Structure 1
Amino acid sequence: MVPVHNQRRTSSPRRKSPISCFSCLRPRRLFTLLKIALPLVFIICYTIYYLYDPRGHIDLVLYQRDWIQREILPLSPLGGCFEPERISPLYNISEAIHGKKRFEVQAGVTMRMGMDCYDFAGTIKFVEGEWTEEQQYIPPEERAQFHTYWRVDLARLDERQEYMLKSFFATQDLPRSRLILWSNGDLSPNPIVQKYLKLFPDSFALQIVDIPELAKGTPMESHRFLNLEDKKAWVDGDLVRLLVIWTYGGAWIDMDMLLTRDLSPLLEHEFVTQWDCYDKIYQAFNGALMHFHKHSPYLCEAFHLMAHSTPPRSPSTDWGAILYLRLWRRLLNESIPPFKILPFCLSDPLACRLDNSVPDPFDPDRRDGKWTGRPGEGLEEGGALDKALGKIFSVHLHNRWNRAFPQGGWVDRLLLRRYEEDIERKIRIAGEL
């Protein structure tokens, strides 16, 4: 029999805990390890940068799986708005959907590389002289209608909001156009509004939103969802957007946009826009700039989908981007040609790669005067950015109402100052007629 004390001597030695092992790394050994590891990491990162293009986009959005299964993937039947007997006599389906168009507004690819999207935008233009012929006076109600919306209970309409109004009156063909500013309160006493009503009485009008009245004759008539709203004006703003265009027809322009040229070439199509150049699977579309004809069956189907779905989350884009996607998939499922989707840069050139997005409007210009580091023409008048702005149709500022444009920056030089000059020129020409 082995003595007890010998058993203790021959037993296995106790293993050291991970903490005690880590403590074995003396400062000198740890320093030596870092001297090897850090240069190695640098070499690997530099090699990846040299051999590959690291410019990309990280946008992490979490969607609940049960919400996707319930709201996105199922394809419920359409509401029958495209049946011939239900199409409004005010809507010419042969012309709107099947008619021959002069311009192509869908590229079919994302156009993330270089200036592809801007070059495509440059193809959507009238032939020189085609849109400048003299024409008789057109009554305001018969002109191309444009709509925008401002909630007076959230913020005062001030100088920042005026920029969109300036951009409209500076860039659009006013004898053929009218902008209607919608609101949930009376904006007529506002001095900014009064100024443009006096300057352009036939091209500018005010309307107060009456949602129940606008919803009459749609699947949303007297619906319990009509009174929904949120503090960001997302849910109610998206509803107003659709109801207004359904009732009056025309183009919608969000108040946080700066127009850069005449929208007329786009208006032969019914469209929404691409959210960005990355094709977000559940948020691919944007309605900040959109166009539909009066009593369009596309909008009728949108109202049917809203009326027969769960209430929108607040705040959310459930009645905006999500709704357009759900409708688009149902149209395809029933072999109905869907509405068009404008490429991102036509309305939102901030929403792509670092090397082809326009510079942030609220940051000072680069000191070297270049646009994202390109050699040659850059931010100067007549440069690469200036040419790109002349091809696209707007710059979407994505709210950011509390930010100011840098004095002398590209927005100030290439857009705001020109708005003033163009408006003065139009006022002078109108006075000479």
Structure 2
Amino acid sequence: MSGVDYLPLTTHESDSAIDLHPYPPRGRPYYRTYRWPQRWLRWPRPRSCFKYTAPAIIIIFVLSYLTWEPHIEISYYWRSWIRQEIEPLTPLRGCFKPDQASPLYNVTERLYGPKSTEIHAGLPMRLGLDCYDFAGTIRPLLSSESADRPRTNYHTYWRTDLAPFSERQEYTLKSFFATQNPHSRLIMWSNGDLSTNALLTSYVARYPEAFELRVANIRELSKGTPLENSLLLSSNDEKAWLDGDLIRLLVIWRDGGVWVDMDTLLTRDLSPLLEHEFVTQWDCYDKIYLALNGALMHFHQHSPYLCEALHLMATSTKPRPSSTDWGSILYLRLWRRLVAEGIPPFKILPFCFSDARACRLDNRLPDPFEPDPSDGHWTNGLTRAEDGGLDRKLAKVFAVHLHNQWEKSFPPGGWVERLLLHRYEKKLAKVPE
């Protein structure tokens, strides 16, 4: 065995068939590529996708807008809050029962007595200028009719710690004395003494029978109501929403009358509306939980509606700060309880009567804080000219609610200055001192 020579085992025919080089060869890059059998299976490049997709989306959006009229509103509410605060219908206190109703309030007459004016349209009136035209169907009272009515109290409120009372707030006073029935009286409530304010003292001197300053003592106002001695009486917030909503109910309960928020300009005598008790529609969008507003409202003295509202406040969850829990949401909850127990509810004043800014772009009042358009035309025939479309609509509605935009000024020569403020001045100049 030792003398035998062994050859290396190979499967090749010869040594020349053996590749002694490493694989892949040194110095040569090696790429392994995959080729798809069909080009359409490749992902499009992002640049190409944007180049063709974005214009297509824009075209579809424009065509859709020209074809359809979109109405989009997105709101979020906790389902637990809806189940706890909105859906349950707790019993009323019984303020409408004959043995509990105040002798100052005739339930039969107020709820079921004949009325000469209809203020509830029964439709949202979002088409064109329908709401303004409906407001125009309410005729002013004749002088003989208004003379027979007792003096009507109007109430408003100013928080002295939030801002000083100045010329901007004075516009509300001017609008009242320029538009309302001479048998009306404006009571201005505040959380501090305003008797030293020069502007206000001039009005007290000029209208001694028709203007009065009062400090709101909430605990005193709450006596005899379901909130008497309640810890909730100290509720307030930085926006004056909770205390403002509370005070409006307490002062009307005590004295009866009309509540007008300080950020409101009155445009027409409210007397034709006052045979009804009402709150106001918030806007024309039919918000399910925020449908009602108290910026302009009217109830008679010791109204059972207010008694039930105060009872609901006293027996419900503590209100959230800077919320409408004692405003819009409270009115909705009360309305549902009234109809559930077969009691005719209070009326709801259509949105444009006092808040015509809160609707679509094509039928709302123009922005009071923007200059008039250069061509003098707004939408739906509203024109800048005296006795133009806008002027005629303002003559039909009863107020313009400005929504607390105290930091903004009216543009010189704008429609608020021309069609409202200047006319207030002219009207008041004719009133004897």
Shorter-chain TM-score range = 0.7 to 0.9
- The aligned counterpart of 2:153 is 145
User: Quick one: which amino acid aligns to residue 173 of structure 1?
Assistant: N
Alignment of 1:241-390 (within 5 A): 241-372=248-379, 374=380, 378-390=383-395
TM-score w.r.t. length of structure 2: 0.88
- The aligned counterpart of 1:52 is 68
Verify the 8 A CA contact 2:146 2:271 in the aligned structure 1: no
User: Quick one: which amino acid aligns to residue 225 of structure 1?
Assistant: L
Stretch deviating more after TM superposition (410-419 or 117-126): 117-126
- 1:64-105 superposed Cα distances (whole Å, 9 cap, x missing partner): 111111011000000111111000000011221111111101
Partner Cα distance (1:34, 1:216) in 2: 69
- 1:147-170 superposed Cα distances (whole Å, 9 cap, x missing partner): 000011111011111010110000
Q: Which entry has the higher C-alpha Rg, 1 or 2?
A: 2
User: Quick one: which amino acid aligns to residue 398 of structure 2?
Assistant: F
Alignment of 1:3-402 (within 5 A): 25=45, 30=47, 32-54=48-70, 56=71, 58=73, 60-126=74-140, 130-131=142-143, 135=147, 142-174=150-182, 176-372=183-379, 374=380, 378-402=383-407
Kindly state the Cα deviation for residue 133 of structure 1 after the two structures are TM-superposed: 7.5
User: Quick one: which amino acid aligns to residue 269 of structure 1?
Assistant: H
The SS at the match of 1:218 is coil
Distance 1:25 1:305, change over 3 A: same
Verify the 8 A CA contact 2:125 2:284 in the aligned structure 1: yes
Superposition RMSD in Å: 2.2
- 1:287-325 superposed Cα distances (whole Å, 9 cap, x missing partner): 000000000000000011011001100011100000000
User: Quick one: which amino acid aligns to residue 69 of structure 2?
Assistant: D
Partner Cα distance (1:245, 1:155) in 2: 24
Verify the 8 A CA contact 1:57 1:353 in the aligned structure 2: no
Partner Cα distance (2:395, 2:196) in 1: 35
Distance 1:14 1:183, change over 3 A: farther
**Residue-pair matches, total:** 398
TM-score w.r.t. length of structure 1: 0.88
Verify the 8 A CA contact 1:272 1:287 in the aligned structure 2: yes
- The aligned counterpart of 2:17 is none
Kindly state the Cα deviation for residue 13 of structure 1 after the two structures are TM-superposed: 7.3
Partner Cα distance (1:190, 1:388) in 2: 35
Alignment of 1:409-424 (within 5 A): 409-424=414-429
Kindly state the Cα deviation for residue 34 of structure 1 after the two structures are TM-superposed: 4.2
Verify the 8 A CA contact 1:234 1:316 in the aligned structure 2: yes
- 1:332-358 superposed Cα distances (whole Å, 9 cap, x missing partner): 110100000001000100100000000
User: Quick one: which amino acid aligns to residue 209 of structure 2?
Assistant: D
Gaps in structure 2 of 5+ consecutive residues: 1-22, 24-31, 37-41
Partner Cα distance (1:402, 1:323) in 2: 29
Partner Cα distance (1:422, 1:57) in 2: 43
The SS at the match of 1:387 is helix
User: Quick one: which amino acid aligns to residue 163 of structure 1?
Assistant: Y
